[in-house]
Structure 1
Amino acid sequence: MAVSWWGWVVFGAFVVAMFLVDLAAFGRGGREIPLRRAAVWSVGWTALGLGFALPLLVWRGSQATSEYLAGFLIEKSLSVDNLFVFALVFSYFAVPPALQRRVLFWGIAGALVLRGVFILGGAALLDAFHATVYVFGGFLVLTGIRMARQRGVEIHPERNPVLRLMRRALPMTDDYRGDRLTVREHGRRLATPMLAALVLVATFDVVFAVDSIPAIFAVTRDTFIVFAANAFSLLGLSALYFVLVGMLGRFVYLNVGLATILVFVGVKMILSDVVQLPHWLSLVVVVVTLAAAVAASLAWPPRGRPPSSPPLAGAQREKAGVTVER
């Protein structure tokens, strides 16, 4: 069942309104975010994403609802994985905690727009070339395998090609100037480290969409559901960051769980012409795998892993232009 143009308009307006609420709550001000406040907002945004399943059930039926829930959980989980990278970027640029929320918000908002372009492009490819389904599926399987073989890493954002290009086009100050992205000094327009951090957060999130967009297309081909799952997974990500930033090192088996999910949906996509698995099965696999990964991380933390050095998937390192020091 295709969504009419007015359905897209109404949903788009709702998403914009929610991002404005997110901006009012976390995108402004110069004070640090209390953990309790961040936790309350994070739970609220997650509840909103899950709660969207209820009107979707009335509007589109049970199949669309199960596809949305599976897609939302996959996208939310992969978004959490991206927080590993954001934490390292903020550490490299020494972004003050009070300024991190503005960088997160605008980086995530820009990524949502670009992800919409990715979604439309992916849907067009799948419609025009059926063989694309095997390419997407194979890519997800390879990404999952490489993610499971990850190691702890150190990143060097200055070697990222996007950042190097920006520095060539726009000189940069040595220190922060409040929350300003650029300043004018001695007749020249200069960028601040704030702008550099914002550029990297946005580009990293878009590049990571190369994993997440094919993953959700393995669950559903409905473009509206794909976009809705991405939108709700990104809403409130800034609040979730402040909740998890001190706990990222504890979820040491999260990437193993994500790798399992990527391999599962990749195989499901490759075999879609041979075996049609029930839609609810994807939801069950995602929920059980994530719960097992979190439980294992809390119950059996590996010894000798420094809590401040969260793992980063190898596939993500290479795509983001991250250099590894072993």
Structure 2
Amino acid sequence: MTVPVWLWLATVAGLLLLIAIDLVIVDTKPHEVTTREAAKWVVFYVACAVLFGAGVWFFAGHDPGVEFFTGYLTEYSLSVDNLFIFMVIMASFKVPLIHQHRVLLVGILLALAMRSVFIAIGAALIAQFVWVFFLFGAVLLWTAVSMLRGDDEKEEYHENVLTRWVRKIYPVSDDFDGHKMFVKREGRRHITPMFLVIVAIGSADLLFAVDSIPAIFGITQEAFLVFTANAFALMGLRQLFFLLGGLVNKLVYLTYGLAVILAFIGLKLVVHALHEYHVAPDWLDINNWISLGVIVVVLTITTVASLLKSRRDAAVEQPSER
């Protein structure tokens, strides 16, 4: 798939336009985002992703189209699991409800910019070294095992190195001051909790890229598709945060489903590398349709099973309360 420079520029311009629309409509007057408003925006961003994927399918062919939709679905599902840590961070910093949308927007934009660097590096490495597929596969398999063992506990938020470093070099004011990042107190410049929580959100999402970037490279090695799938997934993540709310806690089996997906993609990367070295047999091939089918089936099963368990637990609790 050959992507001309003008298409890259047009795509980035289109994404920036969507962000500008979001800023003008939603963020001009800070307010608490309602479930109904969030639902409309989620539908809007999903529709934009579907239209973009349909364009890829129509102009580039069905293989790139399937790769985009598979990558987008994978990135979006991984993002849902990451929403919990966002909620923990928001609670830890006591972010007012009317400012949460701005925090997520700026934090995710920073994450997308940093992920773009990761994508460029990953694409360059893959183009030069086949063994990188083994490395990415190992990362995904290790992440999957860690998720199944419960090593990624997210009940409490502990500030990472970057957040602690920012807090160390800059004094932090006690309270939020609207959308301001910097304020002057007693003649000295301070950063506000707004700035610090944006750093926390952005850096946390960057850590999530350790599994999401290798995962999507296991689906497609086309940098354009990797970037756009990540962009659409991240842009829709903010509104999904407000839409799902406490529902994230009910998706108790989602982590297991994501572990299965990551392990599957990790094995796919290893098989791909073995094919490149002409070691794997021809019949051992995992095409994009199989990948899409596995991801859809696993997500469907884990989501339905989670909601059924939540319903059973609620039914058990009701008699005991009486």
Distance 2:43 2:262 in 1: 25
**SS in structure 1 at match of 2:201:** helix
Q: Is the 8 A contact 2:144 2:263 kept in 1?
A: yes
Q: Structure 1: 5+ residue runs without aligned partners?
A: 305-326
TM-score (norm 2): 0.90
Distance 2:253 2:40 in 1: 25
Q: Is the 8 A contact 1:22 1:236 kept in 2?
A: no
Identity %: 39
Distance 2:85 2:27 in 1: 20
Pair 1:100-2:96 in alignment: no
RMSD: 1.5
Q: Is the 8 A contact 2:90 2:100 kept in 1?
A: yes
Name the residue aligned to 1:289: 298
Name the residue aligned to 2:319: none
Distance 2:89 2:29 in 1: 21
Name the residue aligned to 1:154: 155
How far off is 1:23 after superposition?
Answer: 2.0
Distance 1:149 1:280 in 2: 30
Name the residue aligned to 1:72: 72
Q: What is the aligned length? A: 303
Letter in 1 for 2:127: D
How far off is 1:176 after superposition?
Answer: 1.4
Distance 1:179 1:157 in 2: 24
Name the residue aligned to 2:166: 166
Distance 1:26 1:202 in 2: 20
Alignment of 1:1-326 (within 5 A): 1-150=1-150, 153-158=154-159, 160-272=160-272, 273=275, 274=280, 275-301=284-310
How far off is 1:69 after superposition?
Answer: 0.6
Q: Is the 8 A contact 2:85 2:154 kept in 1?
A: no
Distance 2:222 2:187 in 1: 51
**Deviations for 1:221-256, whole angstroms, at most 9, x for unmatched residues?**
111111110111111221111011221111111111
Q: 1:244 to 1:198 in 2, by over 3 A?
A: same
The higher relative CO (CA closer than 8 Å, separation ≥ 6) is in 1
Q: Is the 8 A contact 2:85 2:157 kept in 1?
A: no
How far off is 1:114 after superposition?
Answer: 1.0
Distance 1:27 1:257 in 2: 34
How far off is 1:22 after superposition?
Answer: 2.1
Letter in 2 for 1:45: Y
Q: Is the 8 A contact 2:172 2:193 kept in 1?
A: yes
How far off is 1:303 after superposition?
Answer: 5.3
How far off is 1:153 after superposition?
Answer: 4.1
How far off is 1:12 after superposition?
Answer: 1.1
Distance 2:263 2:287 in 1: 17
Please identify runs of 4+ aligned residues in structure 1 that moved more than 6 A: none
**Deviations for 1:83-126, whole angstroms, at most 9, x for unmatched residues?**
11110000001101101100000011111111111100001111
Distance 1:236 1:67 in 2: 19
Distance 1:211 1:202 in 2: 16
Letter in 1 for 2:63: Q
Distance 1:51 1:269 in 2: 28
Name the residue aligned to 2:320: none
Distance 2:26 2:150 in 1: 32
Q: 1:79 to 1:18 in 2, by over 3 A?
A: same
Q: Structure 2: 5+ residue runs without aligned partners?
A: 315-322
Distance 1:156 1:222 in 2: 35
Letter in 2 for 1:5: V
TM-score (norm 1): 0.89
Distance 1:266 1:232 in 2: 23
Distance 1:85 1:156 in 2: 7
